[in-house]
Structure 1
């Protein structure tokens, strides 16, 4: 029954074979955002260089991102104070070149989205550190929020905070992507990515590492991950582990991407599309197998580094940036969870197929196409594979890892998996727009 419920849940979220013209309404993310238009401009007052006062958090975020874009050229941080709390937003930009080969342009643009995404995380961390250092009241309020297990998923882990840096590290686990923009030019372009933390995001999602998402429920996490895939801020190949601490439920979400090449010949264009779908599926399933085999690098980073370096150019800088930004504690947590998972999963009836390089029975694989594939005949093809292992990780081990305590782990069964093997000069518009729903906070 549990498998049936989870299968129906995923089928509702992503329908196989549909064009990837996905609206934000299709995948309600934790941010619970609203219109990008300011509805109460008069209620907004800029009080300091890094703070906005607003009657509505949505308006505050919209005004703050406008300030970041216009006054800081798209790179910066703002705190948004509203009657029932405080939200935080950071944005960053990254440039890319347009090449005669459309594939090279698409990969360069994807790299730019990811670069801007990681830069925004850096601005968010810097901004929170500075803000909390000056604002004792805001720091104390954040501590209360983080320790409230009724309101915050982070409360499950009973954090103990002593320094501003520890508070910032904990809060950064509760960010979500807010908006992406692509300013596509003829010879070059620039992308913008903003991310936010709000009371609702803190209550909905906890990113223990770049490859592990802890949440109050599976649906919230799935929606969060799928939004980031559509927004282009996740790597072309990789995966995420979802963990629900209250129930112990888990889900493994793996994804792969490939470019459907351009051709004016309709028959050849269709062949390119089929090849891209097959490549994306192969990459997604291989990532899934690697995660299930306890690949610590994916559990830490959320991407399949070997394939990323081999198949996609211009990604080395992104990989290095992501590695540098991860904290030692998040890496330790990921290592602990991957080892604990493999220790348990190696005894599962489906592990034999996984250790042989095959996806386990019950894996759901869906394919989606960037709208550019339908409109222009070329663009990204995405494949997403989801598997729900029937096991529960021991909670205390994860808590100890998060708190920096030494963790004794039983050595898992070691098995080797098999590896999967597997135009024009226009600059098509990349993902742009809110990465949030039209519902109010």
Structure 2
């Protein structure tokens, strides 16, 4: 009861803060990896931690401080934040990678680290929202074997302990966006931070039916390019930005693949095409995951066994008769502990990519990565649906009845065909599209 009441107070307080910052948007946030001058521009003096929720009159300051707090703790985790649209959750995951003589292997290891950090951050969001299953069992066994004779007294003691824990997280996740990504080449560590707020969950919904305005596609893409050039294009996740002129929100899904090097130019070109295809597929799936939701599965646990033993005598092989026992010259002490730990992360997102989604690909400045961004906007979907309807109508009108002439399918092959270069060049003018 107290928790519900407290959260209500936090939400109410954050709504009051909205009067001071009505148009709070993720685009306005200053990531923790920004320059010192940029971070100093946000005043965090009034930020407070109220029962685990970061509260501030300026929501930008609350998010910034929560993010820096997670980084300074040098561990993965989540922070609850009071923002203008309600209570948000910031989740940070990290993973290490290795470097190798083969550049391709180094980049593959780094990309796997990004993916693992991404999965950890998503798992933590689901865990925070839906909770987790936990089961542990502990067992201990003590054995004493003592032998007393008229002249001697010896004893063996054995202590066995077993500790087993299993945990799992399962749930659906939608409406989260990438807040920050960071690669530390010195520590060989990457970090991915995700954020989910009432506003991000609302912005990533498809709202086409009531759409009245239309947006010029070129204006959208121009703003996207400017936004990506000004900030960071992450290799994973999604982002929401707003059209300044219309107020329309559109969603960006990100994908990536490494650009493999090969000494054969023909193979290199094929690998470049593969990288582009991979990045585009991941970008489209990133869009589906954040808009339609994805299933998150995590299982983890450990088994720990321990043996502690003191021996003053030993039995001969194939005998446990105390009369056959041999007293050891010195006490024998044995200690052994064995720990096994395992974790498994899985996520699944599937669905039809909405009409009107366009995917753009870019090479990173160093040429190591192929990055892709899938763009969704309600106006673009509406335009695409209208074009599809017009196309279907035109196809129906253009259907003709077939003739009774039977096609000739053999012969006609020649080695001396006289031909020049076929049509080559731009077919449609941009202004006509």
> Into which bin does the TM-score normalised by the smaller protein fall?
0.3 to 0.5
Q: How does the TM-score come out when normalised to structure 2?
A: 0.43
Q: Flag the structure with higher strand content.
A: 2
Q: How does the TM-score come out when normalised to structure 1?
A: 0.43
Q: Flag the structure with higher helix content.
A: 1
Bigger CA radius of gyration: 2
